Structure formats: C-alpha cells, structure tokens
Chains A and B, each alone.
Chain A
Amino acid sequence: DAGITQSPRHKVTETGTPVTLRCHQTENHRYMYWYRQDPGHGLRLIHYSYGVKDTDKGEVSDGYSVSRSKTEDFLLTLESATSSQTSVYFCATLGGEGQPQHFGDGTRLSIL
C-alpha cells in the first residue's frame, strides 16, 4: 500500500547479533515511522522521522536506532538483539498532516 516495502519479511536470528530492517517507500512521503506490535500492547512507536536525517524517539526506543539518509529509506537497527525484541515490526508513512498513515506489510522477527 502506498508503495511501502519492508525487508526482510521474516527473520530468525540469535541473541546478541545485529539486525537491520529496511523500509522503502516510493511516495516521497515526508514522515516515516517504525512500530512494534505485541499481544496485549497494540502498536507502539519505536522511532520516527520527519525528514532526511531528522529522527526522534518514540515510546519504546531503548535498544533500537534508526537512520534516514534518503527520503525513501528508513532503517531500523537492533545493535545487539535480545529475546524481548521478538515482535512484528511495521513501517508506516505519512504524506502530511491531515492525511492517513500508510502501513507496510510487516516484518516478523524472532530472536532465539
């Protein structure tokens, strides 16, 4: 939807390894978001970006970093993955205020 591609779609890795998730959009949307979705919590904001090289923390940012060097790409990095970061991760974009957010299809990440 809205030209959002998340990669990989599924990943299994071990505790302590670095992991990078990629979100790519083709709509030239200014705002991009990373959420995690866990049972009993709904969607929670990890980090977001309001432009190239402009990012800010969300409510569950510990253990995560992001980068946005181009409008179309927003990367989420787990420097040293922990089992508590096992989750489904969604990327979303927003063209501007007053518009709905568009979501990617999600990445299912399992950390053993």
Chain B
Amino acid sequence: KNEVEQSPQNLTAQEGEFITINCSYSVGISALHWLQQHPGGGIVSLFMLSSGKKKHGRLIATINIQEKHSSLHITASHPRDSAVYICAVLTSGSRLTFGEGTQLTVNP
C-alpha cells in the first residue's frame, strides 16, 4: 500500500461543476502539498499546508491532520483546469512522497 493514496484516479466533469479530489496518507507529516501538472509536463505548486484550509481563487485545499486526509476543491470548474493534480507529503527532513495523481478533464 502506498503511503499516499489519491482518489479518484480519473475524473471527468462538466464546466461549472464543483470538483473534489481526495488524498489520504499513512505516515506522520510536517506538511502536505498540492501540485498541478498540465499536458506538456510542467509541475507547479498550488498549496502547501499543515493545518486548516487555504484558498486561492477558485481553488480550496483543506487538511485534517487527525484523520490524515486532505481535499482539493475546485469551484466553478473550467476546461483550463484540466490537468493532473498531485498530492505530496513532507515526511523526514525535506523529502516529499507523492501520490500517483488524479487526471481531471473538464469538458465545455
């Protein structure tokens, strides 16, 4: 079993829908990251959080440390949100352990 599990693996939505991607982890962490990878491969950091909730535009990330669970929400989804979303946890020192990613496709 992977230390970081994401669900779903694939998600297709219609433009405007509210989207949730989940991440569960089984190890102690100091922080959790959400990353976005667009077709063409570039990876960008969306959020880094260790408690509570963060919001940036239409994106919201939450974490529950006791339940070892995080969610990434996208409100009013748009085709340009189509990408792979990756959850990663910071464990010992400065090393990240990654989930396999969630492929999101938003249709117009």
A residues sitting closer than 8 Å to B (CB atoms) are: 1, 31, 33, 40-45, 48, 50, 58, 88, 90, 94, 97-103, 105-106, 108
Q: A45-B95, A50-B94 are in contact. Are A100 and B41 (CB under 8 A)?
A: no
Q: A42-B98, A45-B96 are in contact. Are A101 and B41 (CB under 8 A)?
A: no
The distance in angstroms between the C-alpha atoms of A73 and B98, with both chains bound, is 24
Dominant secondary structure of chain B at its interface with chain A = strand
Chain B interface (Cβ within 8 Å of chain A)?
30-31, 33, 35, 41-45, 48, 86, 88, 93-96, 98-101
Q: From A1, A33, A40, give the contact of B42 (CB < 8 A).
A: A1
Main secondary structure of the interface of A (DSSP, over half): strand
Contact status B44-A94, CB under 8 Å: no
List A contacts of B93 (CB < 8 A).
50, 97
Q: Is A40 within 8 A of B43, CB to CB? A: no
**Contact A40-B48, Cβ < 8 Å, known A48-B95, A97-B94, A105-B41:** no
